[in-house]
Amino acid sequence: MAETSVSRECDCPVPADHKDFHAGFRDGWCRNCGRKLNPDWLSTDENFNRFFDHLAATPGVHPEFVEHCRRRELAGRPEFGCLFLDRENEIEGCEEVADFANYMMFSLLRRRREGRHENTAKALEAARHAAIAHRLALELASED
């Protein structure tokens, strides 16, 4: 259980929403401490839309990408709940984008083995974006 806080808001490292115990039931209170869960920091449709609506307005971001992110985030909510609140998300992101760059290399190797066009320039450009994401995530992780 979390230490006593002057706030009436949950400060548990990993809050446990009632939905974790009753499928489809979310009442806004932490099952661990009994305090209110602030919807501003929960993984909700509203917070997803707030972030990804901004991203979707960025040149080069296609609706298919946003929908792919939505499907993956929704699929993970029941399994992972609020674990993101007690995880170094930027560092985890660095691991993911490093894997992405490796996948681009693996794609070229597979294409080479199968005698298919490799399109090295496109794979390198995708991996370059992963490298940029990696650097930016590390910068975010180092901020206060």
CA 72 to CA 86: how far, in whole Å? 20
Are 22 and 82 within one domain? yes
Contact 19, 26 (CB under 8 A): yes
- Asked if 34 and 47 sit in the same domain, the reply is yes
78 and 37 in one domain? yes
22 beta partners = none
Q: How many percent of the chain have pLDDT more than 70?
A: 88
Q: Which amino acid is at 6?
A: V
Q: Among 121, 123, 84, which Cα is nearest to 100's?
A: 123
Between 18-22, 26-30, 32-36, 71-75, the lowest mean confidence (pLDDT) is in: 18-22
What residues contact residue 114 under an 8 Å CB cut-off, 6+ apart? none
Question: 31 versus 65: which is more confidently predicted?
Answer: 65
With a cut of 80, say whether residue 133 has pLDDT above it.
yes
Which residues form the domain of 116?
Answer: 89-142
Q: Is residue 45 part of a domain?
A: yes
Mean pLDDT over 51-66 rounds to 97
Q: How many structural domains are present in the chain?
A: 2
Q: For residue 18, what pLDDT is reported?
A: 61
Domain membership flag for residue 1: no
